[in-house]
Amino acid sequence: MIMALTDALGNLIDFWLLPPSRATGQAHDLRGTAALIEGLTCGQFFADRAFNANWLRDALAQAGIEAIIPPKSNRRFPANFDRVTNKWRHLIENFFGKLKE
């Protein structure tokens, strides 16, 4: 699995290659996230629903970073996020699209 961190224009800043899980062959998206955001300084952090975890939101808030992460549908108390700003998350999707080409 590839975890990537991009800037506001979708340019690669950092990445991690994670081995798959032995049991399922798939790695959860949150695995490796702590190392990727260590020392991160920015205004906002965009991620998809898979990154909707309290510890990640808390770590970002402590660093003064606004989390733009949609809540999972099964969350009992969904966190607020800016839906309009979240539309810019397509830049990271574009980055992965370029990788696949």
Residue 78 φ then ψ, to 5°: -65, 140
Residue range 6-14: average pLDDT?
A: 83
Q: Are 1 and 17 spatial neighbours (Cβ–Cβ below 8 Å)? A: yes
- DSSP category for residue 80: P
What confidence tens digit (pLDDT) does each residue in 37-88 have? 888 888 888 888 888 888 999 999 999 999 888 887 777 777 777 778 878 8
Q: Are 18 and 3 spatial neighbours (Cβ–Cβ below 8 Å)? A: yes
Give pLDDT, residue 21.
61
Q: Which residues pair with 1 in a beta bridge?
A: none
Q: Enumerate the domain spans of the chain.
A: 2-100
Long-range contacts, 21-28 (Cβ 8 Å, 24+): 26/1, 27/1
Q: Are 52 and 71 spatial neighbours (Cβ–Cβ below 8 Å)? A: yes
